Structures are given as structure tokens and as C-alpha cells.
Chain A
Amino acid sequence: MTRPLAITLNALALYAVAFVLLTAFAGQLLLGELPCPLCLLQRILFAMLAIGPMLNIRHGPRPSHYALSLLAAVVGAVVSGRQILLHILPGDPGYGSALLGYHYYTWAFIGFAVAIVAIAAVLLFDRQFEERTAPPPVSGFAVAAVWLVIVLAALNVISALLECGFGPCADNPVVYELLKR
């Protein structure tokens, strides 16, 4: 795998993270389902998955950059796995509504597991690490992906502030604390 191809794949990974964050926002805004504390933690870890690809695009691919995303994916899988186990008893309806038969935290677990496998697969290709020259020129496609994820992360900061206010977040939130009258 050449360095330009690796950078294109990293940009695509950023679009995948943006898709996940947008889907979570759609559930929140269109269905009125506020994210629970564990759901927020999973969103944070999805956003942290994006930091490795950003470094790869900005400074060129390095194994250490992929390692950051791998760490975020492993912690994300643990958090989403715990939420699955919290609702595993027969008769438990789960938290929130289901999307295509699975709850958001189940999709999150699948997403983190796919990320772990994808990162391991990309790490198999050594050629992307051999060309240690100046940082590569960044395409508009990649820059747009970077800014899309940064803007979505910033919107999540505002959303979490509105939802939780300045105290601890509710276990089962139903209203935005800062918009409550």
C-alpha cells in the first residue's frame, strides 16, 4: 500500500466516524432520544478514533498513529460491551429505540470491533511507513473529512452541555438541563 493510498483510506475512515456521529445526532434530534452517560462515552470514543487518521493525514502514516485509534477502539468496545450486558436479561427492552433490529450500543460494539480489525489489516502493509519524507500534500477530500469530524465533535460539546448542564448527567435523561424552564 502506497502512502497516498493509505492517506485516502484514512480520510475515508474519518468520513465513517462522521457518519456514526451524524447518525447519533439524528437519533437525538429527530427521535428526541437523549444519550445516556454510557452512550455519551461511546460517542467520545468514536470521536477519539478520528485522531489517529488526522495525524496520519497531517504528518504521514506511522504505526503510533494507528495505535491511538486502536486504543480508543478497544476502550469503546469495552464500554459498549458493558452496556449490552446491562440489558442482556430476557424481557429487558434495552435503552432507547432499535435501529435495524439493534440498539445503538450494539451497533457501537460492532463499529468498534470493525475498527479494530480494519486497523490491524491496514497495519499489515509496511510500504506506507517506508517513505519518511516531508509531510504529504493534503487533498481537499481529506481536509473536508478532518473539518467535518472537528465540527461534529464541537457540536457534541454544545449538545452535552445543554443536556447535562453543570452537574452530573442524568442516568436516564429526558430533558435538556439548560433548556428546562
Chain B
Amino acid sequence: MEFTALLLATTVTMLAAWFGSRALTLGLFGLTLAACVATYLHHATDVLKLSF
């Protein structure tokens, strides 16, 4: 679900880049990128199931 939300946020940011103001786009971009980093860190701290 979080990836659907991130993709939706990215699409909205693209529409803002094309139709909206620069300030709005920069804000949305910053929020989306921060959410991407948070999602990455959440997955990066998962325990790895290694089998050796």
C-alpha cells in the first residue's frame, strides 16, 4: 500500500510540475523523497533470512 501511495504522490508532483507553481512542486518533491527514504530505511532494517 505504501508503494501505491508513493507512486500516487510522484504522479501528483509531476502534475504540479506541469500545471502548478515551482514552490508547490518543490514542497511535494521534498515530502515524497523523504517518504521514499523512510520506506527504504524501514525495509533496510528488516532481519535478513539468510540460509548459510
Say yes or no: A51 contacts B4, CB within 8 Å.
no
> Of A67-75, A93-101, A114-122, which binds chain B?
A67-75
Interface size class of B (residues with CB under 8 A): 20 to 34
With A48-B32, A167-B1 in contact, is A153–B7 under 8 Å at CB?
A: yes
Say yes or no: A44 contacts B6, CB within 8 Å.
yes
Q: Main SS of the interface on chain B?
A: helix
> Does A45 have its Cβ within 8 Å of any Cβ on chain B?
yes
B51 to chain A, nearest CB (A): 10
With A41-B36, A75-B36 in contact, is A161–B17 under 8 Å at CB?
A: no
Q: With A and B bound together, what is the CA distance between A40 and B17 in angstroms?
A: 22
Say yes or no: A55 contacts B43, CB within 8 Å.
no
Interface CB pairs A-B, < 8 A, 9: A44-B3, A44-B36, A45-B36, A48-B29, A51-B25, A75-B36, A154-B11, A164-B3, A166-B1
B contact set with A: CB distance below 8 Å? 1-4, 6-8, 10-11, 13-15, 17-18, 22, 25-26, 29, 32-33, 36-37, 39-40, 43-44, 48, 52
